[in-house]
Amino acid sequence: MNLNLSFMAETFVHALTGIPTTLKITLVTMLISAPLGFFMALGRMKGNKGGGRLAALYVSFIRGTPVVLQILFMYSLLPSLLNYLFKSILHLNINIFRMDPIVYAYIVFSLNTTAILSEVFRSALMSVGHGQMEAALASGLSSSQAYRRIIIPQGLVVALPNICNTTINLLKSTSLAFMMTVKDIMAIAKMDAAYGYNYIEAYLVVLVIYIILCTLVQILFKVMEGSLSGYRRRITA
Amino acid sequence: MLEINNVHKSFGKNQILKGVDLNVEKGDIIVILGPSGSGKTTLLRCINFLERAEEGTINFDEIHTSFKGASKQDISRIRKRTGFVFQNYNLFANKTALQNVTEGLIVGRKIPKDEAIRRGKQALDKVGLSDRYDYYPSQLSGGQQQRVGIARAIAAEPDVILFDEPTSALDPELVGEVLGVMKSLAKEGATMIVVTHEMGFAQDVANEVVFMDGGVIVEKGTPSELFSRPKDERTIQFLKRIIREDFDYSI
């Protein structure tokens, strides 16, 4: 089997232009999902019954459906739904079908990641242990002060490895955005491959790029973890 | 100063406290003894509202309330007048020893930072940790952690300090340092309610020993009364068991 090396080099350079799109989807999704997931977790922990049940339902719905299905569903359903909403109900003259498809990517991935992150934050906050909460109350702190100053700072450090995991999973799932005609790394490589049927080469290129990206994300999180978990150090003498 | 009456507390169908009364005067050192499951810890936790008792009243100087009907404000006022030392220390893992002590002063009691740090250092000096201000709990031994816990409880100069089995989680060789700190506090006139299994401490320091079993106070009196002339059969059995165990340990 001969690999078309010059094609690979060209495609590599070409596919690199998809990195901003991939990173944009990842970053925007994280920026939307992290606060939403965090407050969902906090709400559930503080024992908001109705909200908690709703959140649990949402989480198990997202967990119980494949991402691909969510993408297909959203991409075929949402535009028509929005179109109907704008045209017939709000009487706004917006052509929804001309909207940048990346917006659908933001929506689908945010829905997904919020659910996952809410569980990540919930388990992290629970790991801090009730004892410190009681100690904070006994020291005269209110329960929201205790959350803000004692529980949450520790919970976030505990959550970091799992947030890293979620980010990497998200980064990889953005490769499915090509199904929504978003021109990310995967989409560009696939289109290049289609000309001369060089799929193996194209996939190899995509593989290398994703490994590089994911490694960088992992390094970033390692550094963050190191700088935030100073209080866990042991006696080194 | 502190008077609690007729405290009842259940967890589900399991009734832990079945009407307990306790009266604490300034300077009292009250040691609560009893087999596990007798409700000693629950009683202590109810006083500080870490558990909410279903029945009973609490009178703390000018604060008079039922346990069930206590408002947020009542609870906060009672908590600010009491210090609590936990069995498992429960130090804030993300704070240094000094920050553990000052946190409640600065955030909870709104004491200016400089003043809080001064008092925090004073409290840590008192428990013999003047060289450990900036250590995190993970860098301290169990005994040192518990002493930080005691410093945290006394820094605000509470009217009563509640000790919930403060030495039970410690290695035997570390028990002494914590008991030593507690004895010196007692000597200074602190008011303390101590749940413990340390009979020596009860005998030397307490001015009243309370024996609990099955959610009620079975017997109480001075250490010499209770240890040398226990009246109730349950007290006698308990003391026999504990003292024999102590004897075994010393071999």
Predicted complex ipTM: 0.91
A233 within a domain of the structure (yes/no): no
Q: Residue A92 above 80 pLDDT?
A: no
A95 within a domain of the structure (yes/no): yes
pLDDT tens digits for range A18-27? 999 999 999 9
- Minimum distance, in Å, between the CA of residue B236 and any CA atom of chain A: 34
| Side chain identity at residue B203, one-letter code | Q
A15 within a domain of the structure (yes/no): no
A11 within a domain of the structure (yes/no): no
- Exposed e or buried b for every residue in B106-125, given b needs 16+ CB within 10 A? bbbeebeeeebbebbbebbe
Axis crossing angle, helix A19-45 with helix A49-63, rounded to the nearest 10:
140
Q: A141: nearest CA in chain B?
A: B108
Closest by CA to A135, choosing from A160, A154, A158, is A154
Number of domains, chain A:
1
Averaged pLDDT, B63-76: 91
pTM of the model: 0.84
Out of B92, B94, B136, whose CB is closest to A135? Answer: B92
A59 within a domain of the structure (yes/no): yes
Give me the pLDDT at residue A236, please. Answer: 44
Give me the pLDDT at residue A45, please. Answer: 84
Q: Residue A232 above 80 pLDDT?
A: no
pLDDT tens digits for range B186-198? 999 999 999 998 8
* Two tokens, residue B25: 């005067």
Provide the percentage of residues in chain B whose pLDDT is more than 70: 97
Report which DSSP code applies to B207. S
Domain that holds residue A120: 20-182
* Two tokens, residue A148: 């803000």
pLDDT tens digits for range B10-68? 998 999 999 999 999 999 999 999 988 899 999 999 999 999 999 999 999 989 999 99
pLDDT tens digits for range A204-226? 999 999 999 999 999 999 999 88
Is B95 an 8 Å CB contact of chain A? Answer: yes
**What's A107's domain CATH number?**
1.10.3720.10
Find how far residue A70's CA is from the centre of its chain: 14
A165 within a domain of the structure (yes/no): yes
Are the CB atoms for B119 and B106 separated by under 8 Å? Answer: no
| Radius of gyration from C-alpha coordinates of chain A | 22
Is A127 an 8 Å CB contact of chain B? Answer: no
* Test mutation, B44, B92, B99, B165, chain A, max A CBs within 10 A: B92
Q: B48: nearest CA in chain A?
A: A138
Are the CB atoms for B7 and B17 separated by under 8 Å? Answer: yes
Taken in order B91, B95, B99, B102, the sign of the CA dihedral is negative
Out of A131, A137, A150, whose CB is closest to B79? Answer: A137
Give me the pLDDT at residue B245, please. Answer: 63
pLDDT tens digits for range B132-180? 999 999 999 999 999 999 999 999 899 999 999 999 988 888 898 999 9
Tell me the pLDDT band of B246, cut-offs 50, 70 and 90. Answer: low
Q: B151: nearest CA in chain A?
A: A139
In the stretch 161-220 of chain B, residues with CB closer than 8 A to chain A read none
Computed over every residue of chain B, the mean pLDDT equals: 91
A120 within a domain of the structure (yes/no): yes
Is B108 an 8 Å CB contact of chain A? Answer: yes
| Radius of gyration from C-alpha coordinates of chain B | 18
Out of A131, A141, A149, whose CB is closest to B90? Answer: A131
A234 within a domain of the structure (yes/no): no
* Full strand arrangement of the beta sheet holding B208-213: B82-85, B160-164, B192-195, B29-33, B208-213, B216-221
| Side chain identity at residue B109, one-letter code | R
